[in-house]
Amino acid sequence: MNSVTTRYGKLSGVEFRTLYSNGKMDGCLVSRHNILETPYGQMVPQYEAEDIGRRSVKPMYFFKDGSLKSIALQTQTRITTPVGQLPAELVTFHKSGTIRRVFPLDGKLSGFWSWQNEFALAETTTIDTPVGSISAKIINIRFYESGALKSITLWPGQVISVPTPVGTISVRKGIAFYESGKIRSFEPLGKTELPTPIGNMLAYDNEPNGIHGDINSVQLAPDGSVEALCTVDHAVLVSLPDERSELFRPGVKNNVCGDERKVSVPMKIRFEQGKVTFNDNLRLSFDIDRYRFEVRELGHKTDEPAYSCG
């Protein structure tokens, strides 16, 4: 077994490492208890998997200059972050050494360990944010290199009340911020009426994509205006200069359980640079000043997607 010196202290029991061309470590596994002294507190790299819920031992990774890129901790440890003390099992860093992302838990999901098992271990965390204090069970928190809060990802079922430029909104899944602290995006819990350049619309994504809160269906410009949203309730009639018109509307698909229920497919609308764009298709982009837009409420009713077919 080897020992390796890092800028945060010496590592003993190093069993595996790969090298950059400059001789610095890319990553390594350790099989002994080590303590690294970091600006955020003492960190003990994971050296054994203690129970079925933890991943097998994960390597630490380093940037070429020897600074720490990511570290899985042996036990959940409270570390110092720009938003206060946070519990952490996995921490990643920017190249400059500032914290990039903190994961309070880093479990291994499998047939024997579900996200519900992991959720049961999660503790409610309170942090100060640009929109006030937030308390919830959090999957991860992300920071800009400057230390400013970038995004918060919530566990399923967690809801926070957030004051936004378009009103106080009940938010699920996550919320993201500009580096200035202004809200960049959020995921509304339910159908939420929002003002847009072409009229008020009900914003709601019945199947929000992704597992992080970095990008959400409602996106705001730095001035607080709505820049993008998803809707399952409204269609938009676009009147063309030659007196033709085209109707854009959410889609409909069969429920995954194979029964007769129908599920809406959200329509994404972006309002940017004086244009209205549907489903991020530049060929379906219209200048607001050149076309007329009519927001129409859909009459049909669809069900929420089903994830269990019992």
Query: Is residue 135 in a domain?
Result: no
pLDDT of residue 166: 94
Q: What is the extent of the structural domain holding 251?
A: 158-305
Q: Do the domain assignments include residue 196?
A: yes
Shared-domain flag, residues 53 and 177 = no
Which pLDDT score is estimated for 83?
94
Amino acid identity of residue 59, one-letter, is: P
Domain end point (choices 122, 137, 170): 122
Q: Which pTM does this prediction carry?
A: 0.88
- Residue 52 tokens read as 């079925």
Report the pLDDT value the prediction gives residue 109, as an integer from 0 to 100: 46
Tell whether 118 and 163 lie within a shared domain: no
Instruction: Walk along the chain (310 residues) and give the pLDDT tens digit of each residue.
Output: 588 888 888 999 988 766 667 776 688 889 899 999 999 999 999 998 765 545 577 888 988 888 889 999 999 999 999 999 999 999 999 999 999 999 999 865 445 556 667 767 778 999 999 999 999 999 999 999 999 999 999 998 999 999 999 999 999 999 999 999 999 999 999 999 999 999 999 999 988 765 567 889 999 999 999 999 999 999 999 998 888 899 999 998 887 676 667 788 999 999 999 999 999 998 899 999 999 999 999 876 665 665 555 5
> Domain for residue 287, yes or no?
yes
Given 68, 101, 122, which residue is the final one in a domain? 122
Q: Do residue 236 and residue 299 come from a single domain?
A: yes
Q: Is 119 helix (H, G, I), strand (E, B) or coil?
A: helix
HEC letters along 228-274: EEEECCEEEEEECCCCCEEEECCEEEECCCCCCCEEEECEEEEEECC
Give CA angle at 80 (75, 86), nearest 5°. 55
Look at residues 72, 99, 122 and tell me which one is the last residue of a structural domain. 122
In sequence order, the β-bridge partners of residue 272 are 275
In a domain, 43, yes or no: yes
90 shares its domain with 225: no
Residues 164 and 289 in one domain: yes
Q: 237 with 115, same domain? A: no
Together in a domain, 115 and 31: yes
Cα 221 to Cα 215: distance, rounded to the nearest angstrom? 13
Contact in structure between 143 and 153 (CB atoms under 8 Å): no
Q: In whole angstroms, what is the distance from residue 211 CA to residue 123 CA?
A: 19
In a domain, 276, yes or no: yes
Same domain, 105 and 180: no
Residue 136 lies in a domain: no
191 and 301 belong to one structural domain: yes
Same domain membership, residue 116 and residue 218: no
Same domain for 104 and 176, yes or no, is: no
297: in domain: yes
Helix H or strand E encompassing 142: strand 132-143
The total of other beta-carbon atoms located within 10 Å of residue 302's CB is: 18
Residue 112 within a domain: yes
CA distances from 75 to 23, 39, 49, 159, 239 (A): 30, 18, 10, 27, 60
Q: What is the per-residue pLDDT for 188?
A: 96
**Residues 101 and 174 occupy one common structural domain:** no
AA identity, residue 188: P
Domain count, the chain: 2
